[in-house]
Amino acid sequence: MTKPILELKAVNKSFGPVHVLHDVDLAIRPGEVTALVGDNGAGKSTLVKCIAGIYLVDSGEIRFAGAPMRITGPKDASALGIEVVYQDLALADNLDIVQNMFLGRERGPAWAMDEASMEQAARETLAALSVRTVKSVRTPVAALSGGQRQTVAIAKSVLWDSKVVLLDEPTAALGVAQTRQVLDLVRRLAEQGLGVVLISHNMTDVFEVSDRIATLYLGRLVAERPAKELTHSQVVELITAGRSGDIGLGRPDAVTI
């Protein structure tokens, strides 16, 4: 089995008296799509924000390429090659694709940006991901469809020699054809050797593109299994009850009177 590029060991996170993450262990491997699933409030967003450096973990360890790391902010995560595509995409409608992909990381001196270099890099990145739905990299984002916007956001995340990409509900609110395009793109990220984390409530999407499925239940990672070893109903049970048969949380001991 491929060694993990990113590992979380016994990670805990609380907000005041509310304990959100409980001793979470998670391994992300290069070349694999790991689906992170769980009900609303299970801790998925908090876990992603801990990986991205938005939240500091209270205890536990984050290892990257086998070495322990302390991620104190988003810049630390980006420096390691960890990128997050949030559900709101964080794209500027008034800018074109190139300007969005390099927003905040423009090339060239402050008085004269290297537009040609950035445009070429944007084209090459989209081509490497086999993106054919975007006609021109100078198209304003406001003129793009939902699927095209998602494609641009994902391409932006891999422009910076990324090693791990976390995708938060990438197919939410997309039509059938657009969903197909985004799922194909998710698989291509893994085929290029990236470790991909897919957060989704859509079980059809999860089983279609995921190599492994990790389930959070009330802040605890109750199962992390190869997708082919799980059924749709088992994952639903893990999400809603924390266990399915002998998978997940142990059954509570019988109460004796």
Q: Is residue 50 part of a domain?
A: yes
Query: Is the confidence at residue 20, as pLDDT, over 90?
Result: yes
How far apart are the C-alpha atoms of 45 and 26, rounded to whole Å? 14
**Is 183 a domain residue?**
yes
- Polymer length in residues for the chain: 257
pLDDT for 105 equals: 85
Over residues 103-110, the mean pLDDT reads 83
Percent of the chain as helix, strand, coil, to the nearest 5: 35, 25, 40
CATH of the domain at 223: 3.40.50.300
- Residue 218: inside a domain: yes
Q: Dig out the tokens for 7 from the structure.
A: 């590992």
Mean pLDDT, residues 253-257 taken together: 45
249 or 238, higher pLDDT: 238
Q: Is residue 56 part of a domain?
A: yes
Check pLDDT > 60 for residue 256.
no
Residue ranges making up the domain that contains 80: 6-93+158-248
Share of the chain above pLDDT 90, in %: 65
pLDDT in tens, 185-218: 999 999 999 999 999 999 999 999 999 999 999 9
Give the pLDDT of residue 69: 93
- At 251, the pLDDT band (50, 70, 90 cuts) reads low
Torsion of CA 82, 222, 21, 18, to 10 degrees: 150
**8 Å CB contact between 165 and 182:** no
**pLDDT tens-digit map of 143-198:** 998 888 888 988 888 888 899 999 998 888 778 888 888 899 999 999 999 999 99
User: What is the pLDDT averaged over residues 13-41?
Assistant: 95
Write down the pTM of the prediction: 0.87
Residue 94: which region, alpha, beta or left (left: phi > 0; alpha: psi -120 to 50)?
A: alpha
**Residue 102 clears pLDDT 50, i.e. is over it:** yes
248 sits in which H/E element = strand 247-248
Is residue 133 situated within a structural domain? no
Q: Is residue 235 part of a domain?
A: yes
pLDDT at position 108 over 90: no
Instruction: Say which residues have a Cβ less than 8 Å from residue 199's Cβ, sequence separation at least 6.
Output: 35, 36, 37, 44, 48, 166, 167, 168, 169
- Whether the per-residue pLDDT at 104 is higher than 90: the answer is no
How many structural domains compose the chain? 1
In a domain, 185, yes or no: yes
